[in-house]
A and B are shown apart, each in its own frame.
Chain A
């Protein structure tokens, strides 16, 4: 079987990230393990397109990475004049694969170290992309909209802190787990959001951080099946991702009311709703913020048309969400839901006390337009267009503004 090069590169990267977790534990050194895995993946990317992928890519990469680690350790030993543990060298000379259970534990340990609460949230996301997803600093810079040099600096600093401050390489025990999971889920969620609305990035990058986030959410869900939060996060991401095919067309962003719902991914919606129901059942219907967001996404996904959406249920869910985790997106979501459930005026009334951001002006423009106040809506869009926003948002608002101006002109005729 000849894989396309992209598919091959993808396999190599995903398998490489999986191998890394165990190699870090075996070698006891993140840098050596990472160097060994990256040398092994480079070797694979050089050899496989010519020879074709080996029958067992995972085994090939595992054994090659171990050999590379031996080489690196020998080089270091010669330089430092140190004798390394013979047991370690024996362990690295093995050709069998570690059991899945062992790999799972190693992956969990790595997830918790990357998402350690003593690292800044931005650092956690960068580390997760590097260590858990196997992305290069250049690719990470593309996802997080920073420079390669800045990414390298922040990764180096983080690694130094992990080593110098002795951040433990272990899975938190049961009582601690609940405290530590929000940080992990937060990393996965912000990774997804970063891919969902990249600020002002014109390039379509070869890396899709939404896909990476979903991969991590799947992994965490598999690794910690008894924990509710990973299930809820996975459900939320699947339900949001399911609508992605309809969110953009040739002209740009398509709002929910105009989306072609037949483009939505029915299988992902079904799975997302199933996971949500399962997590709600297990939490005795005491929903956390992820479950509530997933429930809102599920309401939209269930509706066969914009008009048949259960807006009063969505309004209720936003109100619950705001009591748990107040934030701008939820406040604006509540205003839109109120506008749909009652009237544009009641939605507008809920916006009075909120901070004036570009998104606030854009939502206000939408509600004013629904209320027939077109020239005010144009003014609100002008405000929205002055602040920072994504390229897609700007294009959409410019288009919307032109449409509304057209209505204003025909009204005045």
Chain B
């Protein structure tokens, strides 16, 4: 059975080998290049602190016109290769057999349908696993420069392209491809639906699911220019929200209508005639602060921010990869049911 799966699908496996080589050919030289630039920039800023700032290296790196393109290539490749494995290993391995009726040939040899499916799944998922590992090793290694200067690794485009995620995607989308193939028995339809699942996952996880894996850390500060920022760690935390809230804790979009009347008066006095928004020109309050902030603070207004600290990154990776691997198990179970219980 193993020989046969290999003989049937060796071309697909070979094509993916080539794709991986192309991906490596893009990432290895550019990854080295950026790491080298970063090292150089570190030396420069240490030698010329007046000219270069060591705390804000991202402005001095990635400035060549090609940098954006290379970064896009890296992201697309890291997203795309696991998806492609799902599409072109997951779907055709099963759906094509149904489409061409060869499942009836295979299922009437002296091999049980269960063993036949298990062997196919093992090859596909095993291949997807190895592939995901290769992709993530390359991409994670490549991202070390960006991780060091851009810090936040939770957001879309960073989280999905590193660590456990490319592996989880590879395996998951392959299992989805199998399940859809067993369900619909049409290669193109299975491809399209697998792609749909991918789009859905990418659109939903980063914004709606991922922020809730762990209770975010909440920090509050009185009204004022810099108090809140000082309390949010700058070393790669994922800031989920920054808000001004009233004394009941309700988030406020526009301050003026919700402010008490005495504060509204101060705001109105402070507004420069003819201009919109706040141009604060009121006299300083006795304690030296902004009179509007003082008034709002007295009325119970304050600032609030929620963030996921940087040290939770690997917890988040484990949780999200766990979700996908759990879903993989469900898809595999569904595939078995669909293949074994339904008629040929």
A and B: interacting chains: no
**Interface, chain B (partner A; CB < 8 A):** none
Chain A residues in the interface with B (C-beta under 8 A): none
